[in-house]
Protein backbone atom coordinates (compact mmCIF):
# COMPACT_ATOMS: atom_id res chain seq x y z
CA UNK A 1 0.00 0.00 0.00
CA UNK A 2 1.27 3.42 -0.93
CA UNK A 3 1.30 5.87 2.00
CA UNK A 4 0.94 9.62 1.52
CA UNK A 5 3.75 11.91 2.52
CA UNK A 6 4.48 15.03 0.47
CA UNK A 7 3.07 18.23 1.87
CA UNK A 8 4.41 20.40 4.65
CA UNK A 9 5.33 23.99 5.35
CA UNK A 10 8.99 24.86 5.61
CA UNK A 11 9.44 27.02 8.71
CA UNK A 12 12.88 26.32 10.14
CA UNK A 13 14.42 28.35 12.95
CA UNK A 14 18.14 28.20 12.34
CA UNK A 15 18.93 30.56 15.18
CA UNK A 16 17.46 28.33 17.83
CA UNK A 17 18.56 25.17 16.04
CA UNK A 18 22.22 25.68 16.88
CA UNK A 19 21.40 26.02 20.59
CA UNK A 20 19.23 22.95 21.04
CA UNK A 21 20.92 19.76 19.77
CA UNK A 22 21.31 18.62 23.37
CA UNK A 23 17.56 18.98 23.90
CA UNK A 24 16.91 17.03 20.71
CA UNK A 25 19.03 14.09 21.78
CA UNK A 26 17.68 14.27 25.32
CA UNK A 27 14.19 13.87 23.93
CA UNK A 28 15.47 11.10 21.67
CA UNK A 29 16.92 9.20 24.61
CA UNK A 30 13.79 9.69 26.71
CA UNK A 31 11.59 8.52 23.85
CA UNK A 32 13.75 5.48 23.17
CA UNK A 33 13.84 4.41 26.83
CA UNK A 34 10.15 5.01 27.49
CA UNK A 35 8.94 3.39 24.28
CA UNK A 36 11.33 0.52 24.77
CA UNK A 37 9.90 -0.37 28.17
CA UNK A 38 6.36 0.29 26.97
CA UNK A 39 6.98 -1.80 23.87
CA UNK A 40 8.29 -4.71 25.97
CA UNK A 41 5.24 -4.66 28.23
CA UNK A 42 2.88 -4.17 25.33
CA UNK A 43 4.69 -6.88 23.39
CA UNK A 44 4.25 -9.33 26.28
CA UNK A 45 0.53 -8.57 26.42
CA UNK A 46 0.21 -8.70 22.65
CA UNK A 47 2.01 -12.04 22.41
CA UNK A 48 -0.29 -13.50 25.05
CA UNK A 49 -3.39 -12.42 23.13
CA UNK A 50 -2.19 -13.06 19.60
CA UNK A 51 -0.40 -16.41 19.79
CA UNK A 52 -3.58 -18.09 18.61
CA UNK A 53 -3.86 -15.72 15.65
CA UNK A 54 -0.37 -14.75 14.54
CA UNK A 55 -1.42 -14.14 10.95
CA UNK A 56 -3.84 -11.37 11.94
CA UNK A 57 -2.04 -8.90 14.25
CA UNK A 58 -3.75 -5.70 15.40
CA UNK A 59 -1.79 -2.88 13.75
CA UNK A 60 -4.25 0.04 14.04
CA UNK A 61 -5.66 1.81 17.06
CA UNK A 62 -9.21 0.85 16.07
CA UNK A 63 -10.42 -2.13 14.01
CA UNK A 64 -11.58 -1.51 10.45
CA UNK A 65 -14.56 -3.33 9.00
CA UNK A 66 -13.93 -5.70 6.11
CA UNK A 67 -17.59 -5.80 5.11
CA UNK A 68 -19.00 -2.27 5.54
CA UNK A 69 -19.66 -0.19 2.44
CA UNK A 70 -17.69 2.70 3.91
CA UNK A 71 -14.11 3.21 5.08
CA UNK A 72 -12.71 5.66 7.66
CA UNK A 73 -9.12 5.61 8.95
CA UNK A 74 -6.37 8.06 9.76
CA UNK A 75 -2.66 8.60 10.27
CA UNK A 76 -0.36 11.04 11.98
CA UNK A 77 3.35 11.09 11.21
CA UNK A 78 5.89 13.17 13.17
CA UNK A 79 9.55 13.29 12.10
CA UNK A 80 12.24 15.09 14.12
CA UNK A 81 15.61 15.65 12.42
CA UNK A 82 18.88 17.29 13.39
CA UNK A 83 22.35 17.59 11.92
CA UNK A 84 25.67 18.78 13.36
CA UNK A 85 27.94 21.29 11.67
CA UNK A 86 29.94 20.15 8.65
CA UNK A 87 32.70 21.53 6.43
CA UNK A 88 31.65 23.85 3.61
CA UNK A 89 34.02 26.00 1.54
CA UNK A 90 31.12 28.25 0.54
CA UNK A 91 27.33 28.46 0.60
CA UNK A 92 24.67 29.87 -1.70
CA UNK A 93 20.96 30.74 -1.64
CA UNK A 94 19.83 27.12 -1.95
CA UNK A 95 22.56 25.45 0.10
CA UNK A 96 22.03 22.95 2.87
CA UNK A 97 23.04 24.95 5.94
CA UNK A 98 26.48 24.12 7.37
CA UNK A 99 25.69 25.08 10.97
CA UNK A 100 23.74 22.76 13.34
CA UNK A 101 19.96 22.91 12.98
CA UNK A 102 16.88 20.86 13.70
CA UNK A 103 13.30 20.71 12.45
CA UNK A 104 10.11 18.75 13.03
CA UNK A 105 7.52 17.85 10.41
CA UNK A 106 4.01 16.67 11.17
CA UNK A 107 1.42 15.46 8.69
CA UNK A 108 -2.01 14.08 9.53
CA UNK A 109 -4.40 12.41 7.10
CA UNK A 110 -8.04 11.34 7.24
CA UNK A 111 -8.94 8.62 4.73
CA UNK A 112 -12.56 8.14 3.74
CA UNK A 113 -14.18 5.97 1.09
CA UNK A 114 -17.48 4.39 0.14
CA UNK A 115 -18.39 1.38 -1.99
CA UNK A 116 -21.30 2.47 -4.18
CA UNK A 117 -21.52 -0.96 -5.81
CA UNK A 118 -19.35 -4.05 -5.94
CA UNK A 119 -17.34 -2.44 -8.73
CA UNK A 120 -17.59 1.31 -8.06
CA UNK A 121 -15.79 3.11 -5.22
CA UNK A 122 -15.26 6.76 -4.26
CA UNK A 123 -12.38 8.05 -2.10
CA UNK A 124 -11.74 11.36 -0.37
CA UNK A 125 -8.54 11.96 1.62
CA UNK A 126 -8.03 15.07 3.76
CA UNK A 127 -4.66 16.30 5.05
CA UNK A 128 -3.24 18.88 7.40
CA UNK A 129 0.51 19.59 7.56
CA UNK A 130 2.64 21.59 9.94
CA UNK A 131 6.29 22.01 10.87
CA UNK A 132 9.19 22.07 8.44
CA UNK A 133 12.37 20.55 7.11
CA UNK A 134 15.96 21.28 8.02
CA UNK A 135 17.45 23.94 5.71
CA UNK A 136 13.93 24.55 4.37
CA UNK A 137 14.29 21.31 2.36
CA UNK A 138 17.00 22.89 0.16
CA UNK A 139 20.51 21.83 -0.76
CA UNK A 140 20.09 18.09 -1.41
CA UNK A 141 18.62 16.23 -4.36
CA UNK A 142 17.94 13.29 -2.04
CA UNK A 143 16.46 15.28 0.82
CA UNK A 144 16.24 13.59 4.20
CA UNK A 145 12.49 13.93 4.99
CA UNK A 146 9.91 12.94 2.40
CA UNK A 147 7.12 14.58 4.43
CA UNK A 148 8.30 18.08 3.47
CA UNK A 149 8.13 20.21 0.34
CA UNK A 150 9.79 23.46 -0.66
CA UNK A 151 7.09 26.10 -0.32
CA UNK A 152 7.00 28.13 2.94
CA UNK A 153 3.76 29.87 1.90
CA UNK A 154 1.70 26.71 2.38
CA UNK A 155 0.40 26.89 5.93
CA UNK A 156 -1.20 24.21 8.13
CA UNK A 157 -4.68 24.59 6.65
CA UNK A 158 -6.62 21.36 5.94
CA UNK A 159 -6.93 20.53 2.25
CA UNK A 160 -8.18 17.74 0.01
CA UNK A 161 -5.22 15.56 -0.88
CA UNK A 162 -7.13 13.06 -3.02
CA UNK A 163 -10.63 12.81 -4.41
CA UNK A 164 -11.17 10.07 -6.97
CA UNK A 165 -13.50 7.41 -8.27
CA UNK A 166 -12.46 3.80 -8.96
CA UNK A 167 -14.33 1.65 -11.48
CA UNK A 168 -13.63 -2.09 -11.82
CA UNK A 169 -14.57 -3.77 -15.11
CA UNK A 170 -14.55 -7.60 -14.69
CA UNK A 171 -13.09 -9.66 -17.52
CA UNK A 172 -13.23 -13.07 -15.83
CA UNK A 173 -15.42 -14.98 -13.38
CA UNK A 174 -12.46 -16.17 -11.31
CA UNK A 175 -11.63 -13.89 -8.37
CA UNK A 176 -8.74 -13.37 -5.96
CA UNK A 177 -8.66 -11.87 -2.50
CA UNK A 178 -7.57 -8.24 -2.22
CA UNK A 179 -6.36 -6.20 0.75
CA UNK A 180 -8.77 -3.51 1.91
CA UNK A 181 -7.49 -0.02 2.68
CA UNK A 182 -7.71 3.70 1.89
CA UNK A 183 -7.19 3.12 -1.86
CA UNK A 184 -9.01 -0.20 -2.36
CA UNK A 185 -12.31 -1.34 -0.80
CA UNK A 186 -13.27 -4.50 -2.70
CA UNK A 187 -12.02 -7.58 -0.83
CA UNK A 188 -12.35 -9.78 -3.94
CA UNK A 189 -11.53 -8.73 -7.48
CA UNK A 190 -11.58 -10.57 -10.83
CA UNK A 191 -8.25 -12.14 -11.84
CA UNK A 192 -8.58 -10.44 -15.22
CA UNK A 193 -9.97 -6.93 -15.01
CA UNK A 194 -9.70 -3.32 -16.10
CA UNK A 195 -9.55 -0.63 -13.43
CA UNK A 196 -10.23 3.03 -14.15
CA UNK A 197 -9.60 5.97 -11.82
CA UNK A 198 -10.23 9.63 -12.31
CA UNK A 199 -9.73 12.61 -10.03
CA UNK A 200 -7.12 14.10 -7.75
CA UNK A 201 -4.40 11.63 -6.79
CA UNK A 202 -0.69 11.14 -6.21
CA UNK A 203 0.93 9.68 -9.30
CA UNK A 204 3.44 7.88 -7.10
CA UNK A 205 0.58 6.15 -5.27
CA UNK A 206 0.29 3.84 -8.29
CA UNK A 207 3.58 4.10 -10.24
CA UNK A 208 7.08 3.11 -9.07
CA UNK A 209 5.75 1.53 -5.86
CA UNK A 210 7.82 -0.95 -3.90
CA UNK A 211 6.70 -2.91 -0.85
CA UNK A 212 10.08 -2.58 0.87
CA UNK A 213 11.06 0.96 -0.13
CA UNK A 214 8.10 3.31 -0.61
CA UNK A 215 6.62 4.32 2.73
CA UNK A 216 8.20 7.25 4.62
CA UNK A 217 5.84 6.58 7.53
CA UNK A 218 7.06 3.08 8.34
CA UNK A 219 10.20 2.61 6.22
CA UNK A 220 12.88 4.94 4.83
CA UNK A 221 12.62 8.75 4.95
CA UNK A 222 14.85 9.92 2.08
CA UNK A 223 13.21 11.23 -1.08
CA UNK A 224 15.41 9.23 -3.43
CA UNK A 225 15.11 5.98 -1.46
CA UNK A 226 11.30 5.90 -1.25
CA UNK A 227 10.94 7.18 -4.83
CA UNK A 228 13.03 7.04 -7.97
CA UNK A 229 14.64 10.48 -8.03
CA UNK A 230 14.87 10.54 -11.84
CA UNK A 231 11.08 10.04 -12.15
CA UNK A 232 9.88 13.64 -12.49
CA UNK A 233 6.25 12.67 -11.99
CA UNK A 234 3.40 15.13 -12.51
CA UNK A 235 2.53 16.88 -9.25
CA UNK A 236 1.88 20.24 -7.65
CA UNK A 237 3.98 21.43 -4.71
CA UNK A 238 2.09 19.16 -2.32
CA UNK A 239 2.66 16.11 -4.52
CA UNK A 240 -0.77 15.68 -6.14
CA UNK A 241 -2.31 16.16 -9.57
CA UNK A 242 -5.52 15.68 -11.51
CA UNK A 243 -5.23 12.53 -13.58
CA UNK A 244 -6.89 9.68 -15.40
CA UNK A 245 -5.50 6.20 -14.67
CA UNK A 246 -6.28 2.99 -16.56
CA UNK A 247 -4.97 -0.44 -15.51
CA UNK A 248 -5.24 -3.94 -16.96
CA UNK A 249 -4.63 -6.77 -14.46
CA UNK A 250 -3.96 -10.41 -15.27
CA UNK A 251 -2.80 -13.34 -13.16
CA UNK A 252 0.94 -12.56 -13.11
CA UNK A 253 1.20 -9.13 -14.70
CA UNK A 254 -0.42 -5.73 -15.03
CA UNK A 255 -0.19 -2.78 -17.38
CA UNK A 256 -1.09 0.78 -16.37
CA UNK A 257 -1.29 4.14 -18.11
CA UNK A 258 -1.99 7.59 -16.68
CA UNK A 259 -2.39 11.07 -18.09
CA UNK A 260 -1.77 13.78 -15.49
CA UNK A 261 -1.63 17.56 -15.28
CA UNK A 262 1.73 19.29 -14.86
CA UNK A 263 2.29 22.46 -12.77
CA UNK A 264 2.41 25.80 -14.55
CA UNK A 265 5.91 26.49 -13.20
CA UNK A 266 8.57 24.27 -11.65
CA UNK A 267 7.52 23.18 -8.15
CA UNK A 268 4.35 25.24 -8.52
CA UNK A 269 1.09 24.82 -6.64
CA UNK A 270 -1.13 25.67 -9.66
CA UNK A 271 -1.74 23.05 -12.35
CA UNK A 272 -1.89 23.77 -16.09
CA UNK A 273 -5.33 22.63 -17.28
CA UNK A 274 -4.64 23.23 -20.99
CA UNK A 275 -3.39 19.81 -22.17
CA UNK A 276 -1.94 21.34 -25.32
CA UNK A 277 0.46 23.31 -23.12
CA UNK A 278 1.33 20.76 -20.44
CA UNK A 279 0.64 17.15 -19.47
CA UNK A 280 2.40 13.92 -18.56
CA UNK A 281 2.05 10.40 -19.91
CA UNK A 282 3.06 7.45 -17.73
CA UNK A 283 3.35 3.80 -18.83
CA UNK A 284 4.24 0.96 -16.46
CA UNK A 285 4.47 -2.81 -16.95
CA UNK A 286 4.34 -4.83 -13.72
CA UNK A 287 5.54 -8.44 -13.79
CA UNK A 288 5.44 -11.21 -11.18
CA UNK A 289 7.73 -13.90 -12.63
CA UNK A 290 8.17 -17.26 -10.89
CA UNK A 291 11.95 -17.15 -10.64
CA UNK A 292 12.33 -17.92 -6.93
CA UNK A 293 9.65 -20.52 -6.27
CA UNK A 294 6.96 -19.25 -3.93
CA UNK A 295 9.03 -16.24 -2.91
CA UNK A 296 7.50 -13.03 -4.20
CA UNK A 297 9.25 -11.38 -7.15
CA UNK A 298 8.07 -8.06 -8.57
CA UNK A 299 9.52 -6.18 -11.53
CA UNK A 300 8.18 -2.80 -12.69
CA UNK A 301 9.26 -1.11 -15.92
CA UNK A 302 8.20 2.54 -16.17
CA UNK A 303 8.57 5.26 -18.77
CA UNK A 304 7.25 8.82 -18.66
CA UNK A 305 7.02 11.80 -21.01
CA UNK A 306 6.55 15.35 -19.67
CA UNK A 307 5.20 18.25 -21.71
CA UNK A 308 5.55 21.58 -19.88
CA UNK A 309 6.93 25.11 -19.96
CA UNK A 310 10.42 23.85 -19.09
CA UNK A 311 13.68 25.70 -19.57
CA UNK A 312 16.81 24.21 -21.19
CA UNK A 313 20.01 24.26 -19.11
CA UNK A 314 22.27 24.77 -22.15
CA UNK A 315 20.24 27.77 -23.33
CA UNK A 316 20.37 29.36 -19.86
CA UNK A 317 24.17 28.97 -19.79
CA UNK A 318 24.50 30.36 -23.32
CA UNK A 319 22.46 33.45 -22.41
CA UNK A 320 24.69 34.05 -19.39
CA UNK A 321 27.92 33.66 -21.37
CA UNK A 322 26.55 36.05 -23.99
CA UNK A 323 25.97 38.68 -21.27
CA UNK A 324 22.17 38.58 -21.54
CA UNK A 325 21.75 37.64 -17.86
CA UNK A 326 23.87 38.25 -14.76
CA UNK A 327 23.81 34.54 -13.97
CA UNK A 328 22.24 31.50 -15.66
CA UNK A 329 18.46 31.66 -15.17
CA UNK A 330 16.53 28.54 -16.21
CA UNK A 331 13.20 30.40 -16.23
CA UNK A 332 14.42 33.19 -18.53
CA UNK A 333 12.67 32.06 -21.73
CA UNK A 334 9.38 32.75 -23.52
CA UNK A 335 6.44 30.51 -22.71
CA UNK A 336 6.61 27.35 -24.77
CA UNK A 337 6.09 23.62 -24.46
CA UNK A 338 9.17 21.40 -24.29
CA UNK A 339 9.48 17.66 -23.73
CA UNK A 340 11.32 15.68 -21.08
CA UNK A 341 11.36 11.89 -20.90
CA UNK A 342 12.86 9.10 -18.84
CA UNK A 343 12.51 5.55 -17.57
CA UNK A 344 12.68 3.55 -14.35
CA UNK A 345 13.44 -0.10 -13.50
CA UNK A 346 12.10 -1.18 -10.12
CA UNK A 347 12.65 -4.67 -8.67
CA UNK A 348 11.85 -6.36 -5.37
CA UNK A 349 12.65 -9.91 -4.25
CA UNK A 350 11.57 -11.85 -1.16
CA UNK A 351 14.71 -13.67 -0.01
CA UNK A 352 13.32 -15.40 3.06
CA UNK A 353 10.32 -15.45 5.30
CA UNK A 354 11.29 -12.14 6.89
CA UNK A 355 13.71 -10.50 4.43
CA UNK A 356 13.31 -8.53 1.21
CA UNK A 357 15.72 -6.74 -1.11
CA UNK A 358 14.90 -4.06 -3.69
CA UNK A 359 16.61 -1.94 -6.31
CA UNK A 360 15.78 0.95 -8.62
CA UNK A 361 17.56 2.46 -11.60
CA UNK A 362 16.27 5.71 -13.07
CA UNK A 363 17.30 7.94 -15.97
CA UNK A 364 15.96 11.04 -17.68
CA UNK A 365 17.40 13.06 -20.54
CA UNK A 366 18.57 15.85 -18.21
CA UNK A 367 18.63 18.66 -20.76
CA UNK A 368 15.38 20.22 -19.54
CA UNK A 369 14.91 21.60 -16.06
CA UNK A 370 13.87 19.45 -13.14
CA UNK A 371 10.24 20.45 -12.85
CA UNK A 372 8.08 18.64 -10.31
CA UNK A 373 9.93 16.23 -8.01
CA UNK A 374 13.66 16.71 -7.44
CA UNK A 375 16.91 17.54 -9.25
CA UNK A 376 18.10 14.07 -10.30
CA UNK A 377 18.91 12.96 -13.86
CA UNK A 378 20.21 9.50 -13.00
CA UNK A 379 19.88 7.34 -9.89
CA UNK A 380 20.74 3.87 -8.66
CA UNK A 381 19.63 2.43 -5.34
CA UNK A 382 19.89 -0.90 -3.53
CA UNK A 383 18.27 -1.74 -0.20
CA UNK A 384 16.40 -4.22 1.90
CA UNK A 385 14.55 -4.82 5.13
CA UNK A 386 14.31 -7.54 7.75
CA UNK A 387 11.37 -8.22 10.05
CA UNK A 388 12.12 -8.84 13.73
CA UNK A 389 10.75 -12.35 14.15
CA UNK A 390 14.18 -13.74 15.04
CA UNK A 391 14.37 -11.48 18.10
CA UNK A 392 10.66 -11.99 18.88
CA UNK A 393 9.61 -8.57 17.59
CA UNK A 394 7.78 -9.78 14.46
CA UNK A 395 6.22 -6.39 13.64
CA UNK A 396 9.52 -4.50 13.99
CA UNK A 397 11.65 -3.87 10.92
CA UNK A 398 15.21 -2.86 10.24
CA UNK A 399 16.13 -1.43 6.85
CA UNK A 400 19.30 -0.43 5.01
CA UNK A 401 19.62 1.35 1.66
CA UNK A 402 22.30 3.00 -0.47
CA UNK A 403 21.52 5.43 -3.29
CA UNK A 404 23.75 7.34 -5.69
CA UNK A 405 22.32 10.30 -7.64
CA UNK A 406 23.75 12.23 -10.59
CA UNK A 407 22.97 15.08 -12.98
CA UNK A 408 23.99 15.54 -16.62
CA UNK A 409 26.77 17.84 -17.87
CA UNK A 410 24.42 20.68 -18.89
CA UNK A 411 22.81 20.64 -15.45
CA UNK A 412 26.28 20.62 -13.82
CA UNK A 413 27.43 23.63 -15.84
CA UNK A 414 24.29 25.53 -14.93
CA UNK A 415 24.91 25.08 -11.19
CA UNK A 416 28.67 25.62 -11.49
CA UNK A 417 28.12 29.09 -13.01
CA UNK A 418 25.76 30.17 -10.22
CA UNK A 419 22.39 29.04 -11.56
CA UNK A 420 19.58 28.14 -9.16
CA UNK A 421 17.14 25.26 -9.39
CA UNK A 422 14.08 24.95 -7.19
CA UNK A 423 16.21 22.84 -4.81
CA UNK A 424 19.90 23.37 -5.53
CA UNK A 425 22.28 26.30 -5.95
CA UNK A 426 25.45 26.72 -3.87
CA UNK A 427 26.78 29.55 -6.04
CA UNK A 428 29.38 27.17 -7.47
CA UNK A 429 29.94 23.47 -7.96
CA UNK A 430 32.82 21.01 -7.67
CA UNK A 431 30.80 18.14 -9.07
CA UNK A 432 30.57 14.72 -7.50
CA UNK A 433 27.78 12.17 -7.32
CA UNK A 434 25.45 12.61 -4.35
CA UNK A 435 25.83 9.37 -2.37
CA UNK A 436 23.42 8.54 0.44
CA UNK A 437 23.36 5.78 3.05
CA UNK A 438 20.24 5.31 5.18
CA UNK A 439 19.31 2.86 7.90
CA UNK A 440 16.33 2.69 10.24
CA UNK A 441 14.78 0.59 12.99
CA UNK A 442 10.99 0.79 13.14
CA UNK A 443 9.46 -0.43 16.41
CA UNK A 444 5.85 -1.51 16.84
CA UNK A 445 4.86 -0.24 20.28
CA UNK A 446 1.21 -1.23 20.55
CA UNK A 447 -1.65 -1.53 18.08
CA UNK A 448 -1.26 1.46 15.72
CA UNK A 449 1.65 3.13 17.55
CA UNK A 450 5.12 2.95 16.00
CA UNK A 451 8.38 4.72 16.72
CA UNK A 452 11.58 4.66 14.70
CA UNK A 453 15.19 5.79 14.74
CA UNK A 454 16.73 6.68 11.37
CA UNK A 455 20.27 7.67 10.39
CA UNK A 456 21.34 9.15 7.04
CA UNK A 457 24.82 9.95 5.76
CA UNK A 458 24.96 12.20 2.69
CA UNK A 459 28.22 12.60 0.80
CA UNK A 460 28.52 15.52 -1.65
CA UNK A 461 25.14 17.14 -0.79
CA UNK A 462 23.77 18.86 -3.86
CA UNK A 463 26.48 17.10 -5.94
CA UNK A 464 29.11 19.41 -4.43
CA UNK A 465 32.45 17.99 -3.22
CA UNK A 466 33.20 21.37 -1.60
CA UNK A 467 30.48 20.71 1.02
CA UNK A 468 29.85 17.91 3.50
CA UNK A 469 29.55 15.07 4.24
CA UNK A 470 26.40 15.48 6.36
CA UNK A 471 25.10 13.16 9.09
CA UNK A 472 21.35 13.39 9.82
CA UNK A 473 19.81 11.40 12.71
CA UNK A 474 16.01 11.30 12.96
CA UNK A 475 13.23 10.17 15.26
CA UNK A 476 9.77 9.29 14.02
CA UNK A 477 6.44 8.72 15.78
CA UNK A 478 3.69 7.21 13.68
CA UNK A 479 0.05 6.60 14.59
CA UNK A 480 -2.42 4.51 12.59
CA UNK A 481 -6.08 4.93 13.53
Distance (Å, whole) CA 345 – CA 285: 10
SS3 465: coil
Contact by Cβ (8 Å): 89, 425 = no
Host domain of residue 70:
14-480
Per residue in 433-477, pLDDT tens? 999 999 999 999 999 999 999 999 999 999 999 999 999 999 999
Residue 86 lies in a domain: yes
Residue 396 CB partners (closer than 8 Å, separation 6+): 387, 388, 441, 442, 443, 444
Percent residues over pLDDT 90 in the chain: 83
Q: Lowest-pLDDT range, 141-150, 165-174, 232-241?
A: 141-150
Under the banding of pLDDT at 50, 70 and 90, the label for residue 153 is: low
Q: How confident is the model at residue 129 (pLDDT cuts 50, 70, 90)?
A: confident
Judge whether residue 70 has pLDDT over 80: yes
Can you give the pTM of this predicted structure? 0.88
| pLDDT of res. 350 | 95
pLDDT at 134: 96
Q: Specify if 1 maps to a domain.
A: no
Tell whether 8 is covered by a domain: no
Q: Is residue 4 part of a domain?
A: no
Give yes or no for residue 338 having a pLDDT over 80.
Answer: yes
- Residue 247 counted as domain residue: yes
The pLDDT, as a whole number, for residue 182 is 96
Is residue 355 assigned to a domain? Answer: yes
pLDDT band at 131 (very low <50, low <70, confident <90, very high): confident
Q: How sure is the predictor about 41, in pLDDT bands with cuts at 50, 70 and 90? A: very low
Q: Confirm if 371 and 232 have CB atoms less than 8 A apart.
A: yes
Mean of pLDDT values over 147-155? 70
CATH of the domain at 362: 2.40.160.180
**pLDDT per position as a tens digit, 212-251:** 999 999 999 999 999 999 999 999 999 999 999 999 999 9
The verdict on residue 76 lying in a domain is yes
How many folded domains does the chain comprise?
Answer: 1
Looking at per-residue confidence, does 335 or 11 come out higher?
Answer: 335
Burial class (CB in 10 A: 0-12, 13-18, 19+), 419: buried
Establish if 6 belongs to a structural domain. no
Amino acid sequence: MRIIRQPITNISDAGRAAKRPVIFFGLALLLAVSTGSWAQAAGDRASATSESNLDDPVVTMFPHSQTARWWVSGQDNIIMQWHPSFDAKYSGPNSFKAHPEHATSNIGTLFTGVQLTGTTEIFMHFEMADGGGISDALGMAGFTDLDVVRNPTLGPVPYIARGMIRQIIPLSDETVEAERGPWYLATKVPVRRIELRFGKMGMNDFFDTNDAGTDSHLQFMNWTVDDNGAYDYAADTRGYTMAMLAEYHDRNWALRFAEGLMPKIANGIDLQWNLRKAREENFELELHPSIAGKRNTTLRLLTFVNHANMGVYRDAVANYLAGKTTRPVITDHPERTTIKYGFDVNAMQQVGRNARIFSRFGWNEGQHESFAYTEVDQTLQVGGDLAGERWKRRLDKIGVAVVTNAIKKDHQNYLRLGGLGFLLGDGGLDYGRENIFETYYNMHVWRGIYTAFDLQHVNNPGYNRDRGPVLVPSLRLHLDF
